[in-house]
Structure 1
Amino acid sequence: MRIKELAKHSALQLYIERHLGVNNRSEKVAHDRPKNAVLDRPGNIVHDKSRNVVNDRSEKVAHDRPKNAVLDRPGNIVHDKSRNVVNDRSEKVAHDRPKNAVLDRPGNIVLDKSRNVVNDRSQKVAHDRPKNAVLDGPGNVVHDKLRNVNDRPLNIASNRLGNVNVVSENVSKEQLFVWPWIGVVGNIATEFKNGKRIGESGANLRDEFTRKGFHPTKVHPLWNRYGHSGFAIVEFTKDWEGFTNAVNFERSFEAEHCGKRDYYISRNRGNKLYGWVARDDDYFSKTIIGDYLQKNGDLQSVSGKQAEEERKTSLLVFNLDNTLKVKNETLEQVRSKYDDVNVFLNRVINEKEVMIESYNNEMKKMQQETRKDWEKIYVAHEKARLDLHVQSKILEDREKDLQRCQVQNENERKKLYLEKKNNEMAMMEQNKADERVLHLAEEHKKEKEKMHKKILELQKKLDAKQTLELDIQQLKGALQVMKHIGEGDYEEKKKKDAIKVELEDKEEELEVLEELLQTLVVKERKTNDELQDARKELMHWLGKTHSYRAIIGVKRMGELDGKPFVGAARRKFSDDEADVRAVELCSQYEAYLRDPSWFPFKVLTDKKGEKAKEILDEEDEKLRTLKEEYGDEVYRAVTTALLELNEYNPSGRYPLPEIWNSKEGRRASLKEGVSYLIRQWKVKVSKRKR
């Protein structure tokens, strides 16, 4: 914001030089003349205050002219008030020039309004000067806008205050303006209505001035006890741009002879608006304008405002420089700490990745071993059950034979009874064995829940360990900083000792957590092995008793469904070759699925770049061709198999069996499988009782 103010300050200086007539010529005159000289026009010294000397020409003019003479320029008497006489030359000029002529200086006609004619000299000046030149007076080019070149180099940084002071001394004579910059509009048309005078609203005036390019912020009509006073206050922005707009506002009215002086000397103002910039005389006036200005503004000169801005800018630059130094020192300290923590964090992450990879390998190995053991147990159990079932049927057949032959031999009947009893006992033992299997499955389910809790606890302990390691590293970093600070300060030494004590406590706590973590890892592995064995045994049993109507069963994840291929082939080919084409197409995409080089997936990360997710690349050439040629059903079958392989066996790319909830279309948990096993056993037992 302060830099913008400086830019506007520089723009104000350039504006004053362009529009108030400060150029090379004025600068040279200001450099050559005495410090306390008084000028009657630029470059002509009338009086030197430091030497109390008046130049020859001015002395002669001052000595020769009457006491009450009125001058149009130094040395040329236009009117002598004491004699009420106008000099010959002025009389002749006034007599000869047209009535509506506009002069650039006394006696030189620039424009004749009645004939719209410009004199030769003005025409020549207008023809010779650049199109977009800015003048300080008739024929004197200060600035060419097309080339953006001044007669002298603009050195704002070194000459800003000097140039502005020259302008203030020579032109404005340290005029006091009302700040914030305020303009006054007078002669606003009013009418008497309902006992009050009313006039144009401030919003309409503001819009009109905005269209003219003055950009006021607000326009306040002034009201008194009779209503609208005919005056309005025009507020501009408080910066130098606002001052420029205020000056342009005043000059636009002066160009139309509707300025402040015109307002007070004009007897017939008509309906024209008069406007000017509020100054000290308005501020101290005993009018409604003065009352408003005293309540809402202060008096300031241009040079005073510039000095205040320079002082604020210098203070701001000094404060910013000090703040920048402190921030740089803090940045270096933080950067050093960040590097240390970053190195430590990378080491912790690498250790964690190695530990996770080792853990996953161990889990896979244990799962394979558990699956083999459960398969062996299930095979032996099933064999014993079948043997008992066959034996039971043999006994039943023998019983029927004995009944059919009506064997009356009591011994034989007793023997048969004993064999039947033994068979029932064997069946009871088999049921007990089944109950033990179910009980074991329930225990495995409970163990799985315990293992899940332990895994969560293990994860919490691991997070606590990592947090503790980070705290230890931060304490070590703080301790190193304390060492570099020095040993002179007692308070710093005390803080250093406290950090050492806290560091030792954290290290002891870390050792305890590592021991606990190791114990939990061992327990978790053991429990997970048991759960995987139970899941393998359950999967083996469900695979043998598979039924298409069963809710819980075994599904081969990643296996391609051939039904959609048959339907697509029949739609596209004749009935004779449809089946063959369907088998060929299905075999082709099964080969694609087994090919590790075909990986139609793309990886997406979140906005933070932390979480990565693999999604199917629908723009893959093979998938796009398949969808366009054979339809959505075949496309869904292939993409479903792809997603299942990528989730369950991305490295091997071959189907794996998995316990599946066919009703909900998802992977079934061990708890669901055990519950389904118990329900099937209860149904089987109830059928036997019948």
Structure 2
Amino acid sequence: MDHSSSEESDVSDSDIGVHEEKTYNQLRAEKVKVKHGNNTFRCPFCPGKKKQDYSSKDLLQHASGVGAASKRKAKVKATHLALARYLKVDLAGSLESSPQLATVEHQPPGSEEKYVWPWMGILVNLPTELKGKGFVGESEERLRAQFSRFKPLQVTILWNSTDNADYAIVKFAENWNGMKDALAFEKHFNVERYGKTDWNKINCRRDDLFGWVARSDDYNSLEPTGKYLRKNGELKGVCDLEHEGQRKMGRHVGHYACQIEEKNKYLEELKLMNNQNGLKLERMMEEKDQLFEEHNRNIIELQQHACKDSKRIIDENLNLYEELQAKKHEIDRRCKELNYLATNTNIDRGKLVAEKEKNAKENELLNLANLKQKEADEELLRLVEKHKPEMTSDKQYTHLLLRSSALPVDARFNLHSMASDFLAMLALKPGMDLTGTDIPTPGVSTPAPARDESQEALIIPTGRGEACDRPPVAT
């Protein structure tokens, strides 16, 4: 078995018990070879050492010494402690009896002894001032304070059958430090010659406290101390305590190993969840980046559209401003024209008013002339009626015209028309209508009369650039 490779992975101090138990089981199963020959032994955990062969005694001393060395690695100490245990328990027949074997760590000097567990010390020959029942609590505190350098947890005063306080029990911590304090407590009394051996002497002095660590003989005694120790403790050897501590440590280590395994499983689950969450987060980050890019593109497009719209609106506003300015100039020009026209209109209005007044005066004159004309016409009609029988020839008509020449132009025209009509009526023959046309006889066709050019209308000037038609005069 290659032990050099196994030493590469060292163990911690808290795992010494577990590794010792594991190595001890391997030694018992003879997976690791220790005995070479009848009386020759080798340390399987020191293959490179110059001295290879040991007697059983020397190998036990070697294993115990290495296991108790404080400067050795935890794994080396664990393997050598397991080897020492194997030599003492399983190969006890091969060992040479010797009381001076090297002790393991925390083992008190001498042979294996049984101590009261938890560690307890005994005080005897209490002073008189500490024996009063009324001051038990105070007395216990005084004793605890007196031995405070040994770190006692509790001091209990015991009473015998005569109600005398001759004993006190000092309780220490339930660990190796408690044992160290208990042994120091006992050593203190031994140095001063106030130990258990001195107390058991016949001629011992009884002038001060005596003390020692409680062992099997105290545990089994019939004194009040024995009753108290049997009631509140039990006998255990150092090896038993070591093995019990190792078993507890093994249980704790197993428990912690299970917890570590569970934690590792939970850690693996957390790692898996972390990886899944990492992938989800990565996808979410990619989606976020895509959304950001799309958002930025949309923002850029919106900004571009906004710039275009703003430019278009600005251009339209400029065009509208130019149009408004042009219209404003046009309106100003029209206003000036209107003002000019209004000024000229005021001047023309005056002229128009003057012209209207002039026309009104002329209209009045014309009305007067019309009245005079009307009177002249009436006068002419009376004249025609008066001289009707006498107007039978053109000479008379001409004479009438000459007479009427003294009248105004309009009166002369009207008079001429009336005279012509009157003369035409006088020239009608029987069987003619008022126009001088023969009235047709029923059943007899009448030929159309020949046109007489002499009957054409006679154009008579009126004196106003006008002309009038004179009806034909019968001859």
Q: Report TM bin, short chain.
A: 0.3 to 0.5
Richer in strand (by share): 1
Q: TM-score, normalised by structure 1?
A: 0.30
Q: TM-score, normalised by structure 2?
A: 0.41
Larger gyration radius, structure 1 or structure 2: 2
